[in-house]
Chains A and B, each alone.
Chain A
Amino acid sequence: MATQPPGGPKDDTRAQLMQMRNEIDRVVATVNQLVTAQAVENVLMNGFSDLTGELHRHLEPLAAQLEPLAALAPPQRKKMEAAERQRLADLRADLKRESWIGPGTPAVSRPGLDDRSQLYQMD
């Protein structure tokens, strides 16, 4: 099997790949450095409020663009007035009750009441 002579096409490709990887690593390191330094510096110099303001300035146009979509948002539900709450509470007090599931209905555990015919014996 013939061997590839030094300086052939395969070595060239490898060298190019190495170079590209180095460049990418350098760019990533620079970006990280810049971002971290800027963020820390900003916070140290201006505090969080300015940072938030900066953020808001960038987000305002975005919010304006999203405004038409507000109609698709879940409806905002206003709380009931005290009088309305009272009417609803009265209504519930007057009408709401648990169904009486009396003897003879299964799935109701009634220890001591196995002989249910005794329940309605008149005195």
Chain B
Amino acid sequence: MIQQLLKRIVTKDGISRDDAAKMILTADPLDLLLHMEQVWSSATSSAADEARSKVWALGRFAPYVVPNGHRAWDHLGYSYALENTRAVQILRRVVRGYRSGESLGIPKAATQRWLDITEALLFGATSPVAAWLPASEVRRSAEDVRRNAYDRIFGVQLAFGTDDNQASTYEKSNVTNTNFVRLFEELLFEVWQAITNVKNQSGVNSTDDDRIFRLAQELAFVLRSRRLQNTLDREELIAATALGWTELTFNADTPVIQDLGVQGTNEAARCKALGQKVGLPAHSKSEALFGMAVDLSIFLRAIEADVVTKETAWVLYLELQPPGTPLPAPDPIGLESRRLITEWAAATGKDLKTRAKAVEIARPQLVAVK
């Protein structure tokens, strides 16, 4: 949501991305929260009651409105990838260090503004809409809510416990998508086979469009089964906002990075350096996790959006539309898929470019039922 807002500011105002980022980084937290509610209203339409619409329109970012019906925030997969770097827990320690004493020094004005926004977006300090707070007495912390959502949609947990290295005690769901990872990795394998054969005009072509379609379809069923009646959409938006803010924090030498004297040449390096500073090591594969977040979001959203059909499985592995497609023709997501395969393999240590287990041709035949 934050990164999409940055893009909308650049497009609408015609300013540089640095200036747009500065506008967000120095914004009032209430303005960002109002915009988040505005994005939610645009996506769901049903929630656009009159009073609320007027309240949302008061925010500084109200002009950068999203068209109705558009879910202009990242898929939960984006949040999962970024949260696995442990960046949120590292920022929690930074906030605690600054708010509870002077162990990290005295924050400058820009850093204090950053602290305000971080507490609001990540740790539930304020919200203009109490009924839609990301956490409550029942749902204890925003992190636990996200952990619950990751578990339900992807059937996975984060790679670490709480920030004091205890096992997380988030509320477990009775239903989770335990077969998501298997399907997802099988699909990535098939997509890689197709990518390697895109320019193959003469040899044996192992591209299997029908299998790609079936895997994508099954994955879509699995993902949608946890999203009936827009379930978990709200949690997804809140997670995307929190992690979008986290990504923005590490995108550059932002005020807090400068104030803390952390050096790094990219997001992952800054995150690791900051983790060392506050005594909480970041994930060793942070580079891959930061690198895949956006592509994973686009890939999963494409799966859910019914873009992949029986005849158009190529959308997952081509980089351009087939010749003769009427213009304007949006690019297929081949580039994103390729990057995702590379980074997912790096992060998980699984080689998705080769089949883990060969097909057994000498398998015993089924025994006849007697």
Residues of A within 8 A of B (CB): 72-75, 77-80, 82, 84-85, 87-106, 113, 116-117, 119-122
| 3 pairs of A and B residues whose beta carbons are closest in the complex | A102-B252, A104-B253, A78-B311
Beta-carbon contacts of B181-224 to A below 8 Å, as 1s and 0s?
00000000000000001001100110101000000000000000
Bound complex: CA of A81 vs CA of B113, how far in Å?
Answer: 48
A89 contact set on B, CB distance < 8 A: 328, 330
Q: Which residue of A lies closest to B3 (CB)?
A: A97
B322 at the interface (CB under 8 A from A): yes
| Closest Cβ–Cβ distance, residue B262 to chain A (whole Å) | 10
Number of A-B contacts (CB under 8 A): 129
Q: Kindly list 4 other residue pairs between chains A and B, CB separation below 8 angstroms, not including A94-B4, A100-B6.
A: A75-B207, A79-B324, A91-B302, A117-B253
> Contact: B307 with A88, CB < 8 Å?
yes
> Contact: A72 with B252, CB < 8 Å?
no
Also in contact, A120 and B4, with CB within 8 A (given A75-B207, A79-B325, A94-B70) = no
Bound complex: CA of A78 vs CA of B210, how far in Å?
Answer: 13
Q: Which residue of B lies closest to A93 (CB)?
A: B70
B260 at the interface (CB under 8 A from A): no
A85 contact set on B, CB distance < 8 A: 325-326, 329-330
B156 at the interface (CB under 8 A from A): no
> Contact: B298 with A96, CB < 8 Å?
yes
A121 contact set on B, CB distance < 8 A: 110
Stretch at the interface among B20-28, B164-172, B226-234: B20-28
B17 contact set on A, CB distance < 8 A: 98, 100, 102
> Contact: B4 with A97, CB < 8 Å?
yes
| Closest Cβ–Cβ distance, residue A71 to chain B (whole Å) | 9
B270 contact set on A, CB distance < 8 A: 104
Q: Is the interface of B mostly helix, strand, loop or mixed?
A: loop
Interface of chain B residues 226 through 254 with chain A (CB within 8 A): 248, 251-254
> Contact: B297 with A95, CB < 8 Å?
yes
B344 at the interface (CB under 8 A from A): no
A-B contact pairs, 10 of them (CB 8 A): A78-B312, A79-B321, A98-B17, A100-B17, A102-B251, A104-B252, A104-B253, A106-B265, A120-B22, A120-B255
B74 at the interface (CB under 8 A from A): yes
Bound complex: CA of A114 vs CA of B209, how far in Å?
Answer: 51
> Contact: B309 with A84, CB < 8 Å?
yes
| Closest Cβ–Cβ distance, residue B325 to chain A (whole Å) | 5
Interface of chain B residues 296 through 334 with chain A (CB within 8 A): 297-298, 301-302, 305-307, 309, 311-312, 314-315, 318, 321-322, 324-326, 328-332
Beta-carbon contacts of B278-306 to A below 8 Å, as 1s and 0s?
00000000000000001001100110011
| Closest Cβ–Cβ distance, residue A90 to chain B (whole Å) | 6
Bound complex: CA of A105 vs CA of B252, how far in Å?
Answer: 7
B322 contact set on A, CB distance < 8 A: 77-79
Q: Which residue of B lies closest to A94 (CB)?
A: B72
B178 at the interface (CB under 8 A from A): no
Also in contact, A88 and B22, with CB within 8 A (given A100-B248, A100-B252, A120-B258) = no
| Closest Cβ–Cβ distance, residue A83 to chain B (whole Å) | 9
| Closest Cβ–Cβ distance, residue A42 to chain B (whole Å) | 34
Bound complex: CA of A102 vs CA of B252, how far in Å?
Answer: 4
B254 contact set on A, CB distance < 8 A: 102, 120
Q: Which residue of A lies closest to B270 (CB)?
A: A104
Bound complex: CA of A121 vs CA of B26, how far in Å?
Answer: 9
